[in-house]
Amino acid sequence: MNRTAALAAALTTALAATLATASAADARTPSGAARSDSYGTKTPYAPQQALARYQQAPAGYTPVFTENVARHGSRAMSDSEDGDAVLALLARAEQAGGLTGLGAQLAPQVRTLLAAGASIGYGNLSARGADEQRQTALRMEQRLPGLFDSIAARGEPIVVETSGVTRATASADAFTAGLVAGEPALAGLIAAPVTDKDLLYFHKQPQNAAYRAYLADDPQLAAALAAVDADPRTAEAAAHTVRRLFTDAFADTLTTEQRTAFARSLYALYSAAPDLAVEARGTDLDRFLTPPDAQWFGYLDDAEEFYQKGPGFTGRTVTYQMAGVLLDDLFAQAEHEADGTGTAGAVLRFTHAEEIEPLAALLGLPGSTEQADPAEPYSYANNPWRGAQVAPMAANVQWDLYRAATDADGKPGHLVRMLYNEKETAFKADCHPIAKGSYFYDLDELERCFGRS
């Protein structure tokens, strides 16, 4: 089978897998409508640009290298804690005759979801997550067919790096399997995954003790999150959720804190369900949270992510400056290729939201440029940051490097194009593309505007 036929067959197989996953999700949601605005960083991945709409490289330029930083794909919830809490209160209410008709339907759904998570291992990559990675790899090849043909012809290695966490390594394996499905000649060129925690799990490393101290006991952070949680809409959404599932008599026995804890645990299960659409086929948690309530709890999760991993507070860099090691590596790999010291055809990195969100802020990617004034809490009304857009499951940043032909008089030697969740994306405002409206940048210009030259 030639390369074009292999890629077409692989894309057909991936499409069939997508349709099967979508069918499972539709079975879970009666309307078949996705409510991605309320899943936050648990949102399943979708590419943000059609393959036919990418700009063509300027005349005389050929792709010679690509590199990415990708979050792991959709996964099971981290543990059973939220499910256990929901089931415990449901059991207590059932004994007291305190369930509504809708409430009586919830426990079987929760048990199914927990069983699905346990079946693959809590925190591990799901079938949907593996499919997200395979398809992203196939689209990478389709965007850069000449590059992967050249990698295969020259026998250049493809370097694979991960955080060492099981779901990240499994994502790397799924991604590289997608590459081989589209270009079988790559099979012998893909190196075994290398663990690099300093690069791809930096939020947990000793050198970032200041960041962990910020999470543990920073008074400004604690005050901001307390202000968000104290918004009366939290108690209102929790009370509304509880009274749909429990009788008034039982609901009245619960404190505001108990109602809120229950509702937020239910939301955590709700937001995890799409990621287990294959393993928990037929599970439907959408009907137990109204869209406004789900969106409010999604906002609460987004606020935590924003302050803990995203742009954070005006004038402070503790949440994202640590991603400098990753930005440095992106530049270093491109520079090695440009100066002739690089040997790899591609460098693929697999990591976590805790790394993607800081990198997005450091790069100034769309939605990650605005910090929050300590006097005005982050909200959807005053800030564009959304977990579903910044770091959904399998979120990725990709840099493609292009080299000019030897006879390119006066042209830059190397150009870089950046994709963010597969969408052509401009670098920050003080970086100038080669032409107005272009997504191609002279590598020397990027080094200048990021202070590397």
pLDDT value for 6: 55
In the predicted model, what is the mean pLDDT of residues 413-437? 97
* Structure tokens that stand for 337 in this block: 């290729």
In the predicted model, what is the mean pLDDT of residues 215-238? 96
Average pLDDT, the chain: 92
Report phi then psi at 157, rounded to 5.
-70, 150
Q: Which domains does the chain have, with CATH numbers?
A: 3-14+48-449 (3.40.50.1240)
In the predicted model, what is the mean pLDDT of residues 77-104? 98
pLDDT value for 453: 77
174-213 pLDDT, tens digit per residue, is 999 999 999 999 999 999 999 999 999 999 999 999 999 9
CB 385 within 8 A of CB 370: yes
pLDDT value for 266: 98
pLDDT value for 89: 98
256-308 pLDDT, tens digit per residue, is 999 999 999 999 999 999 999 999 998 999 999 999 999 999 999 999 999 99
pLDDT value for 410: 72
SS3 sequence of the chain: CCHHHHHHHHHHHHHHHHHHHHHHHHHHCCCCCCCHHHCHHHCCCCCCCCHHHCCCCCCCEEEEEEEEEEECCCECCCCCHHHHHHHHHHHHHHHCCCECCCHHHHHHHHHHHHHHHHHHCCCCECHHHHHHHHHHHHHHHHHCHHHHHHHHHHCCCEEEEECCCHHHHHHHHHHHHHHHHHCHHHHHHECCCEECHHHHCHHHCHHHHHHHHHHHHCHHHHHHHHHHHCCHHHHHHHHHHHHHHECHHHHCCCCHHHHHHHHHHHHHHHHHHHHHCCCCCCCCCHHHCCHHHHHHHHHHHHHHHHHHHCCCECCCCCCCHHHHHHHHHHHHHHHHHHHCCCCCCEEEEEECHHHHHHHHHHHCCCCCCCCECCCCCCCCCCCCCCHHHHCCCCCEEEEEEEEECCCCCCCCCEEEEEEECCEECCCCCCCCCCCCCCCEEEHHHHHHHCCCC
322-361 pLDDT, tens digit per residue, is 999 999 999 999 999 999 999 999 999 999 999 999 999 9
Residue 218 has pLDDT above 60, yes or no: yes
In the predicted model, what is the mean pLDDT of residues 86-104? 98
Residue 248 has pLDDT above 80, yes or no: yes
